[in-house]
Chain A
Amino acid sequence: MTILTGKAETVGRRRPEGGGLLRKIWDHRADYGYVLPAIAVMLIVIAYPIYYTIELSFFATPPGLQLRDKVFVGLNNYTAILTSPVFWTVTKNTLIWTVASTFLSFVLGFACALALHRDFLGRGILRAILIIPWVISAVAASYIWKWIYHSDFGIIGAVLVALGWTDRPPNFIDSVSTVLPSLIVVNIWREFPFAMIMMMAGLQTVPDQLLRAAKVDGANAWQRFWHVTFPHLRNVSTVTILLLAVANFNSFIIPWIMTGGGPSNASHIWITHIYELAFGRQRWGVASAYSVLLFVILMSLGYFYVRALSGNEQKDGAE
């Protein structure tokens, strides 16, 4: 059996002169060959849709016309979005949703990870229980929470009324002021186990001897956490926060199933709004323009994510 590598194949064949880029590519041509099918698939399923979405964002698609009969409107879709009051409502909702969900999921997940890092009886069971929200279907969870929150016959409302704390069940998801915080609670409930798992993995990497040395030197628990544990978790924290932020920017299931973006757009976030524009209202052009803007934001987050990962690799290499 022969194992081929780029360099092995160069024997007896003509290779480009000089030491430039072409030569490097030639030397690694077999490696490129291995990744070529994956690149081809990515071009078809990622690059083309991105190109088409950008193209579509310059066209209007009235409901009485087929998409192929779209009308070129230049930057009108972008202008329409930026001058629409709904855009600012939805953007505000998206920012609140993303920042609150990301931050609180991370804090709660981190706190749970720290608690579970200690050795105590039942730790394994507790860890398994805490992971449940993350592994169950988001669709099922949304329907369950919809009934928990039900403004007339929800469990929370029934308990509060039974305890005599309120005359009427609280209005969680049928009010413009409480709907978004209520959905954020559900999202945190679903996401914090992810942060917990990530941080638990990170905690395994903190050198025990450093913590012991700090203790010998008289550092209290907070000082050991702040000066030893936390610096070691900086990279995993960055990655976790970025992954959570990207996931939250792209959230769809919970708000769509529980409220459909209502009432009065109070729980519409970008993705649900884009979905409604495209599939409910067939404004493919405007929806595409929204998607392009969202793509730019997510790519920026992606850049920081890759940078955080590269930073880790460089650091690991240096060590």
Chain B
Amino acid sequence: MVAFILLTVMTALRVLSRNRLRAGLTMLGIVIGVGAVIAMVSIGQGARAAVQAQVASMGTNVIIIMPGSTTVSGVRGGQGGAVTLTVGDAADLKKRSPLLSDTGWAKREVMQIVNGNRNWNGPVNGISPSYLTIRDWSFMSGGAFTQTDMEGAARVALIGQTTLENLFDPSEEAIGATIRIKNVPFQVVGVLAPKGQSAQGSDQDDVIFIPFTTAERKVFGSQFLGSVGALFASTEQSADLPEAVEHIREVLRTRHRLRAEQADDFTIRTQVDIGKVQEGTSQTLTVMLFAIASVSLLVGGIGIMNILLVSVTERTREIGVRMAVGAKRVHILTQFLIEAVTLSLFGGIIGVIVGIVGARLTTAIAGWPTIISLDSIVSACIFSLAVGLFFGLYPANKAARLNPIEALRYE
């Protein structure tokens, strides 16, 4: 049987190489189908990896709590309009919820920032020191401000990469420099490492961090002391996130004295929720991709079936001779199936190469990130093999059922 298969494969290769153009054209459908899939999958995976990196740039297992909207005389403000969340909420959450490894808070306002003769309009964030840990911010140079700075409402600032580029000359040293925010002088103590785009597409590096206390007392001039723009929390395990969210909801509802029929006056979102929105987009892409792949593999398969039917007719006499010298039906069947599979598998392999080249070109020309995975290559090969088997079956069966006498007489 091994000898039979081996020789049959050799025969199939010879038969196909005799008609290179025909074999090539027949394979084209499979080549295009598999090539498109490999290229698209690697683009899709590249995009997904980029999104995952963005989501991860938020920090690890982050929970964001935003204040709800206000309604004044029937006019509703947007999300975050209300000032329902406070520093007290954050402290209480940390005390009552053992699942939370840390809580932090921030309040932001867009302001004019001045350094010498340069100025820049950017978001100024008053934060608790824990905010930086939760969001996994690291430093290019310098370091974070301390709890003492926080308590003393020190005029120290941390600046992001975009802010740095806009406020400072490349040759200028930022650490130790004095910048002015709303005419209040601040000393730069740290330059943050770049984080890139957020999952929502905003530039996370266009930022200035100052201690929360300094912000509310000396810069923002808040009406209600202790009210924050958003609360942040994190858990040790990502599996704890759903439970932690429920816990936070309970604690905050109690603290805000909400009755059972009242809606939350805050919104809780986790990193997982934000990731899911992006996943949804790439899922749509995957479905589209699958549809394209199915159609081209179907067309490719029909091409193989067609050419095999021609081949069976052309080689009727040969089939008759093979039967006369003792080929059983299964032998003839196997021979034509192997030819079909050889065609489709070759097409698949060429398709994989075309796909990889296509993905590389996409990266080179359009600059999109692409990831070529072994999984997609293996499944493309298995799929093209299956297409060969499926569409080869009818012609092969037709050949195997020929009557040897008629086949021998066929002109």
Q: Do A and B come from one complex?
A: no
